[in-house]
Chain A
């Protein structure tokens, strides 16, 4: 069982018999008062979104769902297609199920797909992905201050803040959990 202190974005739990995922989470607590755990939840089967607030002392059943190792194949009009590497079964995930994760998929990437029966309802990406910068302002010579940043776009269309020395064509590592720049990748 989970307690309130386990609640965080991405946690999957059973509510009213259905698997749900926490898509937004905040902890609030008046200084001397009782803590409130405010969750935006998505029903992983119907896709319905709703808000719920929990108080310390409540407990939750983990959503016991199968996770299968799969490889990302391609995107087509049906959605994003993955293949189970053991039995070659294919599973399709809709764009809204992926959310921002769609920007971090690269061909042949090995991911975990969360299954509800035969239906794919969620994805866990590797923590880090390498993507090439497709658009960024050039590095202004002399701008060497550590911590300076600018926007950049990567090959999948995702935009993020990067250090000023990152230029078009640079391969960078991104943390898929936060969507933030980590480092340049040596090639």
Chain B
């Protein structure tokens, strides 16, 4: 038997992927962000209704490095980034791997507005041509990228009003099945101002507590990144975690321990904003790959 040819033929893609990751590092280092590595196996993740962690002994594999990154912010670090593995149980599809690579970056002393600009500049640094071709579609990356409030997206693309969708628990479903397919194909778009009940770790918008300072970046109708102005109130954060836990219990899901050191230190955290971006999907876009399987050497099924 000769070597594994299906693996060998991934070489051009893996070479491109390596260069993209190197360019991402260079981008953040040039902007004076500190690269950190936080533990991937932790005693408690942020409890979220729709994110299931994978147990590792008595602890868990991280679903995001978010809590450790914020503890660093609380200790006075101002600009941080991390490229790391995250695990989410049961997430497998054309755009999902249960183990995948996340880029997270955080800025102290600011809100999420600056992160919108970071995204635009990062893509400009990775894609000199200011446009990319993905699956036959040309995507114009010239800045600024359009912003679309969630309420407007519902009004424009769904026959269900936002308030009704929230009341009936159909918010996510309508985003996936009605809104995503109608987003612009030829431009990136930021969906902004999420309903606050759909942003467990985000700050509410000053003057409008019904919406949270959260955005999602879509490119080619594919969800690429999720960002917040971070919630810094430990009492409110504890309350929201307990709400998520309550809902998990109602849904028959196993209980999660509370991340106490994070909740304790959150009181010292300055105003800050943070964002998580899926590296595998970014590579898919930049390398014209249709499925996430194409941009990693091994998928779970290959092991």
Could you list which residues of chain A lie within 8 angstroms of chain B, going by C-beta atoms?
A: 4-5, 25-36, 53, 55-57, 146-149, 161, 163, 180-184
Bound form: Cα–Cα A146–B11 in Å: 8
Contact A183 B1 (CB under 8 A): yes
Q: Quick check: which of B32-40, B86-94, B262-270 contacts chain A, the rest being far away?
A: B86-94
A-B contact pairs, 7 of them (CB 8 A): A28-B93, A31-B216, A32-B226, A36-B172, A146-B8, A163-B5, A182-B5
Given the contacts A5-B90, A36-B173, A53-B177, A29 and B5 also touching, CB distance less than 8 Å: no
Tell me the bound Cα distance from A32 to B228 in angstroms. Answer: 12
Decide: A146 and B3 in contact? CB cutoff 8 A.
yes
The reply to whether B226 and A31 form a contact with Cβ atoms under 8 Å apart is yes
Main secondary structure of the interface of B (DSSP, over half): mixed
A53→B11 CA distance, assembly (Å): 36
A149 to B198, CA, bound (A): 46
Chain B contacts for A4, CB-based, 8 A: 90
Which residues of chain A are within 8 angstroms of B171 by Cβ–Cβ distance?
33
Closest chain A CB from B301 CB (angstroms): 9
**Closest partner residue, chain A, to B10 (CB atom):** A147
Q: Please tell me which one of the listed residues B11, B51, B93, B251 contacts residue A32 in the complex, with CB atoms under 8 A apart.
A: B51
Residues of B within 8 A of A (CB): 1-3, 5-6, 8-12, 48, 50-51, 90-96, 171-173, 175-177, 180, 198-200, 216, 223, 226, 251-252, 276
Instruction: Look across to chain A and name the residue whose beta carbon is closest to the beta carbon of B11.
Output: A147
A34 and B172 contact, CB distance less than 8 A: yes
Q: Which residues of A contact B48 (CB under 8 A)?
A: 32
B223 in contact with A30 (CB, 8 Å): yes
Contacts of B5 in A (CB 8 A): 146-147, 163, 181-183
- Residues on B with beta carbons closer than 8 Å to the beta carbon of A55: 173
Q: A26-B93, A55-B173, A183-B2 are in contact. Are A33 and B251 (CB under 8 A)?
A: no
